[in-house]
């Protein structure tokens, strides 16, 4: 069995990128004691535009500043990667409707689940949290099934 078969684009950039992501999540913890996925930000920004109590819980309001800064960091890091380090970036050709509908379903799901690929995937699994491990198995399985159905019916992949 040849590993290259499973990684036609190579392995190095995946490993190094993964370690950089882990370094970011780890540094957040070592420096501030916070555990941060990316998706809570999707809810906490709404506390700026609605006074609805369902959004303006104490934890949402008190964490919104650092979550904004974390998201700004995500944007800055990606910008530096492409503009300064010249990392390859191909603008996606996935159709706008797939992105928009998929995004809407994703936004709803990750907030119901209280975590996404980073919150459950990286932080939760690093804590050996059983619910997070189960969540990762569930969303990976569902995503694999849906993506392969989309491919079978001729969608972008």
Considering only residues 62 to 81 of the shown chain, the ones binding another protein according to CB under 8 A are 65-66, 69-81
Cβ proximity to another protein, 31 vs 154, nearer residue: 31
| Least spacing, CB of residue 10 vs another protein, in Å | 8
Alpha-carbon distance of 114 to 147, in angstroms, equals 23
140 binds another protein (CB under 8 A): yes
99 binds another protein (CB under 8 A): yes
Helix (H, G, I), strand (E, B) or coil at 108: helix
Residues 6 or more apart in contact with residue 89 via CB below 8 angstroms: 82
61 binds another protein (CB under 8 A): no
| Least spacing, CB of residue 154 vs another protein, in Å | 13
Alpha-carbon distance of 35 to 74, in angstroms, equals 15
Q: To which residue do tokens 């700004």 refer?
A: 72
Q: To which residue do tokens 């555990």 refer?
A: 35
Helix (H, G, I), strand (E, B) or coil at 26: helix
In the list 1, 90, 153, 154, the residue contacting another protein (rule: CB under 8 A) is 90
Task: Dump strand ranges (E) for 36-135.
Answer: none
In the window 105-134, what residues touch another protein (CB under 8 A)?
A: 105-129, 131-132, 134
In the window 13-42, what residues touch another protein (CB under 8 A)?
A: 13-39, 41-42
In the list 1, 51, 52, 153, the residue contacting another protein (rule: CB under 8 A) is 52
In the list 1, 2, 51, 59, the residue contacting another protein (rule: CB under 8 A) is 59
Q: To which residue do tokens 């960091």 refer?
A: 73
157 binds another protein (CB under 8 A): yes
Give the residue among 31, 54, 34 at the shortest CA–CA distance from 44: 54
């Amino acid at each position: 069995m040849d590993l290259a078969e499973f990684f036609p684009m190579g392995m190095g950039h995946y490993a190094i990128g993964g370690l950089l992501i882990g370094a970011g999540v780890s540094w957040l913890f070592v420096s501030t004691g916070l555990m941060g996925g990316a998706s809570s930000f999707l809810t906490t920004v709404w506390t700026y535009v609605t006074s609805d109590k369902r959004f303006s819980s104490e934890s949402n309001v008190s964490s919104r500043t650092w979550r904004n800064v974390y998201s700004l960091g995500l944007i800055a890091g990606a910008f530096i990667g492409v503009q300064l380090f010249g990392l390859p970036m191909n603008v996606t050709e996935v159709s706008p409707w797939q992105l928009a509908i998929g995004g809407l379903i994703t936004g709803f799901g990750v907030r119901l689940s209280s975590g996404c690929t980073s919150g459950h995937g990286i932080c939760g699994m690093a804590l050996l949290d059983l619910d997070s491990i189960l969540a990762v198995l569930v969303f990976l399985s569902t995503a694999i099934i849906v993506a392969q159905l989309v491919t079978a019916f001729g969608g972008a992949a």
